[in-house]
Amino acid sequence: MSAYIKAHVMIGVTTNVVTSIEVTASNGADYPMLAPLLKRTAASFDVEQLSADKAYSGRSNLEAVAAVGGAAYIPFKSNTKAVASGLWKQAFDFYQDHQEEFYAQYHKRSNVEATFSMIKAKFGAFVRSKTPVAQRNEVLCKVLAHNLCVLVQSFYEFGVQPEFWRNGNAVLRSVETLALTNLPPRTPWGASNFYKSPQQP
């Protein structure tokens, strides 16, 4: 029987960018992955909402989402009981009393399935490496390549201007050997904004 590895990811629902990933063995539990994935995501992104399935339902995960200023849309398990007060009660009451609004937000989690489909369609659904470390690195490379694809798409779709380091424009102007005038015409940031070739007046 083939062995599997498991990728736990957090994604953005607008671009399907993978904001954080952890690769584990196939039997790796889902629940404890949410907090570290969220922590790494919140270090670079503003987290307004988080949707996850029932495998992530629990008090500590609700608290982790609230700690970064987000609203959690995680369904409660059927045997869940309300408590007298606190964040758990607030979330449970909202889930019970406003299910239409809750599920309208919760269903954004389907974007994670779309993201996995994008990665598998473009870079393959299987890993070819033999050792656990190599398999993990292969999955990480696939996700990195996916993120580069959605980044380039965002240049055109949302007008995102790339800035890969602080004072990048000044650095580019000083490095004449980069010859940015040879970039393709569709390059969204415009080579002429960064570099003027010696041939130009």
Asked if residue 95 and residue 182 are part of one domain, the reply reads: no
| Domain range enclosing 187 | 162-201
Bridge partners of 50, per DSSP, are 72
Asked if residue 23 and residue 108 are part of one domain, the reply reads: yes
Q: pTM of the predicted model, to two decimals?
A: 0.77
Asked if residue 117 and residue 178 are part of one domain, the reply reads: no
Asked if residue 95 and residue 58 are part of one domain, the reply reads: yes
Query: Closest by alpha carbon to 41, among 58, 62, 65?
Result: 65
Asked if residue 191 and residue 152 are part of one domain, the reply reads: no
Asked if residue 112 and residue 51 are part of one domain, the reply reads: yes
Reading the chain (201 residues) residue by residue, the pLDDT tens digits are 457 889 999 999 999 999 999 999 888 899 999 999 999 999 999 999 999 999 999 999 999 999 999 999 999 988 887 776 788 889 999 999 999 999 999 999 999 999 999 999 999 999 999 998 999 999 999 999 999 999 889 888 888 777 666 655 555 555 444 444 554 554 444 444 333 334 443
Q: What is the Cα–Cα distance from 54 to 34, expressed in whole angstroms?
A: 12
Bridge partners of 5, per DSSP, are 25
Q: What percent of the residues of the chain are helix, what percent strand, and what percent coil, each to the nearest 5?
A: 50, 10, 40
Asked if residue 118 and residue 72 are part of one domain, the reply reads: yes
Residues near 82 by beta carbon (within 8 Å), at least 6 away in sequence: 88, 89, 92, 93, 96
Asked if residue 106 and residue 30 are part of one domain, the reply reads: yes
When divided into structural domains, the chain yields a total of 2
Asked if residue 133 and residue 47 are part of one domain, the reply reads: yes
Asked if residue 176 and residue 93 are part of one domain, the reply reads: no
With 0-12 / 13-18 / 19 or more C-beta atoms within 10 angstroms meaning exposed / middle / buried, residue 167 is exposed
